[in-house]
Amino acid sequence: MKLHEYQAKGLLREYGIPVPDGSVASTPAEARSIARKIGGTVMVKAQVLVGGRGKAGGVKMATSPEEAEARARDILGMKIKGIEVTKVLVARAVDIASEFYVSLTVDRSARSVQCIASASGGMEIEEVAAREPEKIVRIALDPEAGLVKARHFDALARAFSGKGVAEQAWDIVENMYRLFSDKDCSLVEINPCALDRAGNLVAADAKIIFDDNALYKHPELESFRSTEEYSADEMDARSNGLSYVGLDGSIGCIVNGAGLSMATMDLIKFAGGSPANFLDVGGSSSPDKVFHALRIILKNPRVTAVLINIFGGITRCDDIARGILMAREKLTLRVPLVIRLIGTNEKEGRELLAAAGIDAYDDLSEAVKGVVDRAKETA
Ligand code: GDP
Ligand code: MN
């Protein structure tokens, strides 16, 4: 889950990292009143979950509240990488002397958290890596020991050179690490980490991504969730324990297991069809999950047929069958369902379906061919 800059900065502030004052606005008038409260020069910054806002014209300086209002009017409603800007952050402008980069990420190959720092801040780190790789400092942090000053300070100081700057950078990184560990992040990035003309380091921009697999441990983080990152259907699916990603085809898919879901989508493409979604009902599928999966898929007007592909291991085919029958009772099944059911409790599942006059395939390629044909007939 990604945070907006204003949300990320709020967390950095909670963790004792210096952040310029600021608030978020959704109208030009609000932007003006925030700028007035802050006083002096401010930055008006588009709040969208993509990088490179500066280059796209989504970050503008304003020297008065009236100018802040005008800049907010320019930026609100603008599209950055296809995403409409509905909020701007109005923040005190930092009088920047130089821009640094610092982040913490998970380095999978080193099986550890990695701190990346560079004196070339402001631009994207990939660009620095391509142009001047010698300017990037990478510090692998032992998962047990974490960040240790005696061990890691000198490396950090190579990126943050200058009197007193390395000490400030150290404090920032220590607090970033605390935040990173407490909240199970996959990224905490400050770029630019700006040195102002008075000699203070501050977070002028911030990016935080939480590890979705650890979110269950942090219910307090749910309030950060942006609807723009997920569609309404994706939110609906998530709250019913389903993994769902919307796509633009016509064949709705309900599958158990992410691997089998991917394989099923490949087979549909191979047979000349096009999947409307990825949907994994998971291992311990209850009839409820199948019901909600069908309910969500059938909301999509592009769907002209649905394939249910279950390879029962932990998943029991009779549970799946009960879910299908529940859906048939409560929903209008406006398109054909093609079912492939094998594995645990297959016989019971098939019997339940047969009693309601529903057939199920056991061969996957036949089922896929069947659903592709039906989708074309219905379209
Ligand atoms: P991004 O383009 O989405 O990464 O947005 P940033 O917040 O990083 O802003 C892009 C660039 O705008 C920065 O690298 C700075 O050069 C400039 N900028 C952002 N905030 C300030 C500020 O407070 N003062 C000054 N002088 N420049 C800023
Ligand atoms: Mn930035």
Segment 221-235, tens digit of pLDDT: 989 988 776 777 888
Single out the residue of 130, 129, 156 nearest to residue 141, CA to CA.
156
Q: For 146-197, what is each residue's pLDDT tens digit?
A: 999 999 999 999 999 987 999 999 999 999 999 999 999 999 999 999 999 9
Q: Residue 23 — φ and ψ, nearest 5°?
A: -145, 165
Phi, psi of 60 (to 5 degrees): -135, 145
The three-state secondary structure class of 67 is helix
Residues 6+ apart with CB under 8 A from 123: none
The residue from 6, 15, 101, 361 that is catalytic is 101
Q: How many Å apart are CA 345 and CA 331, to the nearest integer?
A: 25
For residues 228-248, give the mean pLDDT.
85
Q: Pick the atom of ligand 1 nearest to 122's CA.
A: 14
pLDDT at 378: 87
6 is catalytic: no
Sign of the Cα pseudo-torsion (269, 274, 280, 286, in order): negative
Residue 152 and residue 106: Cα distance in Å, rounded? 17
Q: What is the mean pLDDT of the chain?
A: 94
Is 96's C-beta closer than 6 angstroms to any atom of ligand 1? Answer: yes
Nearest Cα residue to atom 10 of ligand 1: 54
Residue 101 annotated as catalytic: yes
Ligand nearest to the Cα of 97, by number: 1
- Give dist(CA 271, CA 200) in Å, integer: 61
Quote the ligand 1 centre to 166 CA distance (angstroms): 21
Res. 318: pLDDT tops 90: yes
The pLDDT tens digits for 30-60 are 999 999 999 999 999 999 998 889 999 999 9
